[in-house]
Homo-oligomer: A and B are copies of this chain.
Amino acid sequence: MNNHYSHILRVKNIGIDTYRENIIYMRADCHICQSEGFTALTRIVVHFKEKSVIATLNVVHSELLSHDQAGLSMEAMKRLGVEEGDYLSFSHLKHLHSLGYVRAKMFHKELSEQDFNEIIADIVAGRYSNIELAAFISACSGSSLSLKEITGLTKAMIATGQKIEWNHEMILDKHCVGGLPGNRTTPIVVSIVAAAGLIIPKTSSRAITSPAGTADTMETMAPVNLGLDEIKQVVEKENGCIVWGGAVKLSPADDILISVEKSLDVDSEGQMVASVLSKKIAAGSTHVIIDIPVGETAKVRSQEEALKLQYYFKAVGEAIGLHVEIIITDGKQPVGKGIGPSLEAMDVLAVLQNVPGCPKDLKERAVQLAGALLELSGKYPKGSGNKEALSILETGKAWEKFQAICQKQGGFKKPQYANYKHDVLSEKEGIVRAIDNRKLARVAKLAGAPKSPSAGILFLAPLGKKVTKGQVLYVIYAEAEGELEYAIDFMKSNNNIISIE
């Protein structure tokens, strides 16, 4: 990165976890700060043997460190592979070239594929501070990226990750553009499609801004942090899997970006398309169905937005050699009853086990998506997919397949209810006319989902339902009392979550 090394300091393991960010701690009065003029927030290159990281300086004015010591955040220690007592050397950070492109994007210039390659390579190497990551995400948000740019970003993300090779010509996959609480079709779809003899190795993400991602939900029923070899074994045996994508570093850039997106609570168009499709290519998929739920309080709010996303998904898919089909679905209200990892898993199990009274909407959506995949494979004629999928589900073959997949992933377990709960009652008699999915999701998140897997909401008041005064509209579950209280606080100060007329 640069050739000027200054003197050295010894590592003290101070055990500070800053999540992804590389932080270096030095005494204000150590010889390096003094001679090099380093002050708080200076970006410094830290060298250990052949390795180096860029870290942000936090200056220490206490006896936490001695004059010849430096501390590193845990992430930085891991990246450098250092232990207490190792010797570090330091140099000034040379201008990070790719940040010029981030600034250009902030000023609304169009970036090339090469520009994105450079940015993404630096991000994956841990060279961006959180401030710089936030600027990049913000500059790419809204409709800031052109089709060409989204394609470039997607390719750049593919280039930095692993790609899984399969011994099959056709690899099926599905994805849902989130925003609809409880819409947990994946475990059902994978079970049906795999039971039909098609290959569907599903890698899912954890929640970005929602109360649960598919990986979070699946994790309440079986291990999902599988390595590449383990995934292959599951799929070779069972045709399908439902695992967390991050564990196999399919798109390491995306994992870093998502950590900052999460803290900003945004999930923008271009990055969404790049994130989804780069992971599909990395997973080795060839044919993908994407479900876009549309509703006023879903992630995608209008048919127009959905069609725009459809255009991007299909166009970028074509540019990177992926066959993409889009299904636009109704996103007016939560799907099933559960919102939050464990509670959603209970819905999934009810559908798979054909329990009487299982959530009909979840079942119908899963059958529609599975049917579309069966047809896309060419193995089932157009128009026959849904019927076939329903039959696989209702004959118990899907449930059998699901159990086999869980077993192979490390063993099935039953999702649990949380210890703390609170019933939210209707204040009047009437009919449920509108549901604010965003606020409902926020209540579930404040209650601890997805961090606390059994936290969330059991939702009992779908659109059109007649309710009486005092009837339970939904139950809030939490693992910690503080979180339950906090969700209740929010619920109480937002009385328009469910509109009853």
Chain A residues in the interface with B (C-beta under 8 A) = 2-4, 6, 13-19, 25, 28, 35-37, 39-41, 43, 58-62, 64, 73-74, 91-92, 94-95, 99, 102-103, 106-108, 129-139, 141-144, 259-260, 263-266, 268, 442, 446, 448, 451-452, 479-483, 485-486, 489-490
User: Are A266 and B103 within 8 A (Cβ)?
Assistant: yes
Residues of B within 8 A of A142 (CB): 106-108
User: Are B16 and A58 within 8 A (Cβ)?
Assistant: yes
Inter-chain CA distance A15–B63, complex, in Å, is 8
Q: Which of B73, B103, B130, B486 contacts A265 (CB 8 A)?
A: B103
Q: Which of B36, B41, B91, B132 contacts A480 (CB 8 A)?
A: B36
Inter-chain CA distance A328–B61, complex, in Å, is 47
13 A-B Cβ contacts within 8 A?
A14-B64, A15-B60, A15-B62, A17-B40, A35-B482, A61-B74, A92-B446, A95-B442, A102-B264, A103-B266, A106-B141, A129-B263, A137-B138
Inter-chain CA distance A39–B129, complex, in Å, is 19
User: Are B131 and A37 within 8 A (Cβ)?
Assistant: no
| Shortest Cβ distance from residue A6 to the other chain B in the assembled complex, whole angstroms | 5
Residues of B within 8 A of A13 (CB): 62
Q: Known: A139-B141, A452-B37. Is A260-B15 also a contact (CB below 8 A)?
A: no
User: Are A135 and B137 within 8 A (Cβ)?
Assistant: yes
The 9 closest A-B pairs by CB, nearest first: A15-B62, A138-B138, A134-B134, A15-B61, A107-B142, A106-B141, A17-B59, A19-B40, A135-B138
Q: A108-B142, A135-B137 are in contact. List 5 more A-B contacts (CB 8 A).
A: A35-B482, A37-B483, A61-B74, A92-B483, A99-B264
| Shortest Cβ distance from residue A88 to the other chain B in the assembled complex, whole angstroms | 15
User: Are A6 and B482 within 8 A (Cβ)?
Assistant: yes
User: Are A134 and B141 within 8 A (Cβ)?
Assistant: no
Residues of B within 8 A of A485 (CB): 4
| Shortest Cβ distance from residue A299 to the other chain B in the assembled complex, whole angstroms | 12
Inter-chain CA distance A481–B134, complex, in Å, is 34
User: Are B94 and A131 within 8 A (Cβ)?
Assistant: no
Residues of B within 8 A of A25 (CB): 16
Q: Which of A61, A107, A264, A442 has the most B CB atoms < 10 Å from its CB?
A: A264
Residues of B within 8 A of A92 (CB): 446, 482-483, 486
| Shortest Cβ distance from residue A22 to the other chain B in the assembled complex, whole angstroms | 13
| Shortest Cβ distance from residue A131 to the other chain B in the assembled complex, whole angstroms | 4
Residues of B within 8 A of A129 (CB): 263
Q: Which of B73, B131, B483 contacts A260 (CB 8 A)?
A: B131
User: Are B132 and A264 within 8 A (Cβ)?
Assistant: yes
Q: Which of B4, B73, B107 contacts A489 (CB 8 A)?
A: B4
User: Are B134 and A138 within 8 A (Cβ)?
Assistant: yes
| Shortest Cβ distance from residue A72 to the other chain B in the assembled complex, whole angstroms | 12
Residues of B within 8 A of A260 (CB): 131
Inter-chain CA distance A265–B132, complex, in Å, is 10
Inter-chain CA distance A483–B482, complex, in Å, is 51
| Shortest Cβ distance from residue A443 to the other chain B in the assembled complex, whole angstroms | 11
Residues of B within 8 A of A139 (CB): 138, 141
Residues of B within 8 A of A64 (CB): 14-16, 64
Inter-chain CA distance A15–B133, complex, in Å, is 27
Q: Which of B35, B61, B137, B264 contacts A17 (CB 8 A)?
A: B61
- Name which residue of chain B comes closest to A259, CB basis: B41
Q: Known: A15-B60, A141-B139. Is A489-B36 also a contact (CB below 8 A)?
A: no
User: Are B130 and A4 within 8 A (Cβ)?
Assistant: no
| Shortest Cβ distance from residue A103 to the other chain B in the assembled complex, whole angstroms | 6
Residues of B within 8 A of A73 (CB): 58
Inter-chain CA distance A480–B91, complex, in Å, is 13
User: Are B35 and A4 within 8 A (Cβ)?
Assistant: no
Residues of B within 8 A of A4 (CB): 482, 485-486, 489
Residues of B within 8 A of A15 (CB): 60-62, 64
Inter-chain CA distance A103–B108, complex, in Å, is 17
Q: Which of B60, B74, B94, B259 contacts A16 (CB 8 A)?
A: B60
User: Are A17 and B28 within 8 A (Cβ)?
Assistant: yes
